[in-house]
Amino acid sequence: MKKRWLVEMICAEEQYINLPGETRNMKRYMESTGLEGIGFRMFWQAGAIVLLAVTIGVLVNQIRSDRLPLVADWSPEARLTFESGTSMVISLEEARESFFSQKVVFLDARPPELYQEGHIQSARNLPWEAVEEYFDAVMTDIPQDSLIIIYCDGVNCELSKDLALELFYRGYEKVRVLVNGWSLWKENQLPIKTGHSPGA
Amino acid sequence: MLENPTTKANEKRKGWNWAKFPPLAVRLILGSVFIYASADKIIHPAPFAEAVNNYQILPETLINLTAVILPWLELILGIFLILGLWLPGAVLLSNFLIATFFGSLVFNLARGLDIQCGCFNTSQEDTYSLCMCLYLIRDGIFLLLGLYLLFLTYLRKPTGTGVRITKY
Per residue in B106-135, pLDDT tens?
888 888 777 765 556 545 445 566 777 888
Q: Which of A45, A52, A79 to mutate against chain B (most B CBs within 10 Å)?
A: A45
The pLDDT tens digits for A80-128 are 887 777 889 999 999 999 999 988 999 999 989 889 999 999 999 999 9
Which residues, at least 6 apart from A93, have a Cβ–Cβ distance to it below 8 Å? none
Give the domain extent around A175: 76-193
Specify whether A31 is located in the same domain as A121: no
Specify whether A86 is located in the same domain as A135: yes
Specify whether A150 is located in the same domain as A120: yes
Report how far apart, in Å, the C-alpha atoms of B102 and of each of B70, B99, B109, B118 are.
15, 5, 11, 17
Specify whether A171 is located in the same domain as A101: yes
Cα–Cα distance measured from residue A98 to residue A100, given in angstroms and rounded to the nearest whole number: 6
Residue A112 domain-assigned (yes or no): yes
Cα–Cα distance measured from residue B46 to residue A158, given in angstroms and rounded to the nearest whole number: 14
- Among A37, A51, A49, A46, smallest CA distance to B89 is for A46
How near does any CA of chain A get to the CA of B11, in Å? 26
Q: Which of A156, A162, A179 to mutate against chain B (most B CBs within 10 Å)?
A: A156
Residue A68 domain-assigned (yes or no): no
H helix intervals, chain A = 2-17, 21-33, 36-63, 76-79, 92-101, 112-117, 131-139, 159-169, 181-187
Is residue A161 exposed (0-12), middle (13-18) or buried (19+ Cβ within 10 Å)? buried
The answer to whether the CB of A157 falls within 8 A of the CB of B119 is: yes
Residue A200 domain-assigned (yes or no): no
B69-83, B99-113, B131-145 — which one is most confidently predicted on average? B69-83
How near does any CA of chain B get to the CA of A136, in Å? 23
Do β-strands A192-193 and A148-151 pair in parallel, antiparallel, or remain unpaired? unpaired
Residue A36 domain-assigned (yes or no): yes
Other residues' Cβ atoms within 10 Å of the Cβ of residue B155: 11
Specify whether A83 is located in the same domain as A115: yes
The answer to whether the CB of B98 falls within 8 A of the CB of B139 is: yes
Can you give the pLDDT at residue A17?
52
What residues 102-161 of chain B have any CB closer than 8 A to a CB of chain A?
Answer: 113, 117-123, 126, 153-154, 157-158
Q: Which of B54, B68, B128, B165 to mutate against chain A (most A CBs within 10 Å)?
A: B68
User: Which of A63, A87, A115 is the C-terminal boundary of a domain?
Assistant: A63
The answer to whether the CB of B70 falls within 8 A of the CB of B34 is: no
Percent of chain B clearing pLDDT 90 (strictly above):
51
Report helix, strand or coil for B55.
helix
Find, in chain A, the residue whose alpha carbon is nearest to that of B153.
Answer: A38
Can you give the pLDDT at residue B109?
83
Backbone CA torsion sign across B108, B110, B116, B121: negative
Residue A19 domain-assigned (yes or no): yes
What average pLDDT does range A138-143 have in this prediction? 92
Mean pLDDT of chain B: 81
Residue A147 domain-assigned (yes or no): yes
Provide the domain count of chain A.
2
If phi > 0 it is left, if psi is from -120 to 50 it is alpha, else beta; for residue B132 that is alpha
Residue A71 domain-assigned (yes or no): no
B69 inside 8 A of chain A by CB: yes
Higher pLDDT, B18 or B90: B90
Amino acid at B154: Y
Specify whether A87 is located in the same domain as A183: yes
The answer to whether the CB of A81 falls within 8 A of the CB of A87 is: yes
Is there a contact between B117 and A35 if contact means CB atoms under 8 Å apart?
no
User: Which of A28, A63, A98 is the C-terminal boundary of a domain?
Assistant: A63
Higher pLDDT, B123 or A177: A177
